[in-house]
Structure 1
Amino acid sequence: MTQTDTLPNRRVLVPALITPPEDVSACLPCDVSGEAFATTWQVRLFSDGPVDRTGLCQRIQAILDRIDAEMSPYRADSDLTRFNEARAGAFVPLPPMLMQVIAHALDMARLTRGGFDPALLEAVEIWGFGAKIVPEGPPTPQARAALRKRRDWRALDWRPDGLTKPEGLKLDLCGIAKGYAVDAVTDSLKATPGVRSALIEIGGELKAFGIRAEGQPWWVEIERADRTFNTETLVALSDLAVATTGDSQRYFIHDGVRLSHTIDAATAAPVQSGIRQVSVFDAQCWRADALATALMVMGEHPAMSFAQTHAIPCLMGLSDGREVLSPALEDWL
Structure 2
Amino acid sequence: MGTTWSLRFDNPRMLPLAAVRAAVEGALGVVVAQMSHWEQDSDISRINRAPARSRHVLPKEFAEVMRCAASWAAASGGAIDPTVGPLVACWGFGPSADESGLPSAQALAAARSQVGWQRLAFDAAEGSLTQPGGVALDLSGIAKGFAVDHGTQALRALGLADFLFEIGGELRGVGRRPGGQPWQVQVDTGLAAAQRIALADMAVATSGDRWHQRAHEGKRWSHTIDPRTGEPVAHALASVTVLHAQCMEADALATVLTVLGPDEGWDFAEQHGVAALFVSHGNPSPTMRATSDWPAQARS
The TM-score, its normalising length taken from structure 2, stands at 0.93
Distance 1:190 1:48 in 2: 14
Structure-2 change in CA distance of 1:133 and 1:152 (3 Å): closer
Matched residue, 2:241: 279
Matched residue, 1:265: 227
Give a deviation string over 1:121-174, Cα, whole Å, max 9, x none.
011111111113524211112212333333401112223253211123211011
Q: Secondary structure at the match of 2:293?
A: helix
User: In 1, are the aligned partners of 2:115 and 2:227 still within 8 Å (CA)?
Assistant: no
User: In 2, are the aligned partners of 1:279 and 1:315 still within 8 Å (CA)?
Assistant: yes
Matched residue, 1:58: 22
Q: Which amino acid aligns with 1:185?
A: G
Q: Which amino acid aligns with 1:303?
A: G
Give a deviation string over 1:278-329, Cα, whole Å, max 9, x none.
1000001001001101101111111111111111111111122211111111
Matched residue, 1:209: 174
Distance 2:235 2:70 in 1: 23
Using the TM superposition, give the Cα deviation of residue 83 of structure 1 relative to its aligned residue in structure 2, in angstroms.
0.6
Matched residue, 2:148: 182
Matched residue, 2:280: 318
Distance 1:146 1:81 in 2: 20
Distance 2:52 2:68 in 1: 23
Give a deviation string over 1:59-95, Cα, whole Å, max 9, x none.
1101101110110111110000111110111112332
Distance 2:194 2:76 in 1: 29
Matched residue, 1:223: 188
Distance 1:230 1:256 in 2: 29
Runs (4+) off by over 6 Å: none
What is the root-mean-square deviation of aligned Cα atoms in Å?
1.6
**Residue 113 of structure 1 is aligned with which of 68, 77, 80?**
77
> Are residue 233 (structure 1) and residue 195 (structure 2) matched?
yes
Distance 1:196 1:305 in 2: 36
User: In 2, are the aligned partners of 1:252 and 1:259 still within 8 Å (CA)?
Assistant: yes
Aligned identity (percent) is 37
Q: Secondary structure at the match of 2:106?
A: helix
Matched residue, 1:47: 11
Matched residue, 1:170: 136
Matched residue, 1:4: none
Using the TM superposition, give the Cα deviation of residue 330 of structure 1 relative to its aligned residue in structure 2, in angstroms.
5.5
Using the TM superposition, give the Cα deviation of residue 96 of structure 1 relative to its aligned residue in structure 2, in angstroms.
1.9
User: In 1, are the aligned partners of 2:279 and 2:289 still within 8 Å (CA)?
Assistant: yes
**Residue 61 of structure 2 is aligned with which of 66, 75, 97?**
97
Structure-2 change in CA distance of 1:266 and 1:322 (3 Å): same
Tell me the matched-pair count: 293
User: In 1, are the aligned partners of 2:84 and 2:115 still within 8 Å (CA)?
Assistant: no
Distance 2:54 2:88 in 1: 24
User: In 1, are the aligned partners of 2:92 and 2:214 still within 8 Å (CA)?
Assistant: no
Matched residue, 1:134: 98
Distance 2:278 2:127 in 1: 38
Structure-2 change in CA distance of 1:93 and 1:143 (3 Å): same
The TM-score, its normalising length taken from structure 1, stands at 0.84
User: In 2, are the aligned partners of 1:86 and 1:92 still within 8 Å (CA)?
Assistant: no
Using the TM superposition, give the Cα deviation of residue 108 of structure 1 relative to its aligned residue in structure 2, in angstroms.
1.4
Q: Which amino acid aligns with 2:175?
A: G
Distance 1:131 1:326 in 2: 35
User: In 2, are the aligned partners of 1:48 and 1:196 still within 8 Å (CA)?
Assistant: no
Return 5+ residue gaps in structure 2 as ranges: none
**Residue 249 of structure 1 is aligned with which of 211, 217, 224?**
211
Distance 2:142 2:109 in 1: 27
Structure-2 change in CA distance of 1:192 and 1:231 (3 Å): same
Distance 1:135 1:207 in 2: 34
Higher helix share: 2
The structure, 1 or 2, with the larger RCO (C-alpha pairs under 8 Å, 6+ apart) is 1
Distance 1:88 1:184 in 2: 31
Q: Which amino acid aligns with 1:140?
A: S
Matched residue, 2:120: 156
Distance 1:279 1:63 in 2: 25
Q: Secondary structure at the match of 1:277?
A: strand
